[in-house]
């Protein structure tokens, strides 16, 4: 006589998971994966934005240090527009700082050497003033475009970058007043 394994009816019904349980588990899993994915994308964008801001700040600081040092040491201002300064450097050569809106670059030119100080610069503006302040903080503007009396140069700019095709990381405006010491 052959022996058969007998499995009661109740235990056969409880032996696997049903379709409804599978659908619920899959749905919960997809929600968890979607939350983790969106958190990952948000974190990656934040890291890129912080990196861009730090890079923009570093470039602005280096450009301002270079301009401040060289303008302070120059002999005099020989030419001025709101986007271009021409100075007579300490060694009697021409020194030019020029902002080109078409390329969004601030360049420094001395002799035949041209150096890019800032890239991706949305706005840059130069203003010139006389040395003597009117009330301690406000300076007199140069009258009639007479650059020979200009001793104070005011420069301000704003740079920005795009993240994934959108301009979302803009640096605040950098401003400095630089006095020609000679």
Across-strand partners of 167?
162
Is the pTM value of this prediction over 0.85? no
Candidates 155, 105, 98, 101; CA nearest to 128 is 155
Q: 109 or 138: which carries more pLDDT confidence?
A: 109
* Residue 46: predicted pLDDT: 85
Q: In angstroms, what CA-CA distances link 88 with 128, 140, 182?
A: 15, 22, 11
- How much of the chain, in percent, has pLDDT values that exceed 70? 86
Strands 105-110, 94-100: pairing is: antiparallel
Report the alpha-carbon angle 64-128-96, nearest 5: 55
Residue pointed to by tokens 């080109």: 100
Distance CA 90, CA 170 (A): 36
Nearest of 59, 42, 71, 145 to residue 105 by alpha carbon: 59
For 55, the token pair is 């890079």
Task: Map out the domains of the chain as residue ranges.
Answer: 17-179
Residue 173 scores a pLDDT above 90: no
Say which residue, 1 or 83, is predicted with more confidence: 83
C-alpha span between 116 and 133 (Å, rounded) = 32
Q: Residue 163's pLDDT is what?
A: 75
If you average pLDDT over every residue of the chain, what do you get? 85
The pLDDT value recorded for residue 181 is 84
Taking residues 109-132, report their average pLDDT: 90
Backbone angles phi, psi at 44, to 5 degrees: -65, -45
Task: Read off the pLDDT of residues 31-86 as tens digits, 9 standing for 90 and up.
Answer: 999 999 999 999 988 888 888 888 888 888 999 999 999 999 999 999 999 999 99
Q: Is 169 helix (H, G, I), strand (E, B) or coil?
A: strand
Q: Using pLDDT thresholds of 50, 70 and 90, give the confidence band for residue 4.
A: low
Sort 100 into a burial class: Cβ within 10 Å, 0-12 / 13-18 / 19+.
middle
């Amino acid at each position: 006589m052959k022996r058969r394994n007998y499995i009661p009816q109740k235990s056969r019904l409880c032996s696997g998971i049903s379709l409804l349980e599978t659908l619920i588990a899959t749905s919960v899993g997809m929600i968890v994966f979607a939350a983790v994915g969106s958190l990952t994308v948000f974190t990656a964008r934040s890291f890129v934005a912080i990196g861009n801001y730090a890079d923009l700040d570093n470039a602005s600081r280096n450009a301002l240090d270079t301009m401040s040092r060289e303008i302070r040491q120059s002999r005099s201002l020989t030419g001025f527009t709101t986007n271009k300064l021409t100075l007579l450097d300490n060694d009697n050569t021409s020194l030019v700082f020029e902002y080109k809106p078409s390329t969004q670059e601030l360049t420094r030119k001395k002799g035949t050497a041209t150096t890019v100080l800032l890239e991706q610069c949305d706005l840059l503006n130069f203003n010139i003033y006389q040395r003597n302040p009117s009330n301690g903080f406000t300076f007199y503007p140069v009258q009639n475009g007479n650059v020979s009396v200009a001793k104070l140069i005011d420069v301000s700019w704003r740079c920005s970058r795009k993240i994934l095709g959108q301009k979302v990381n803009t640096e605040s405006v950098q401003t400095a007043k630089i006095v020609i010491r000679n």
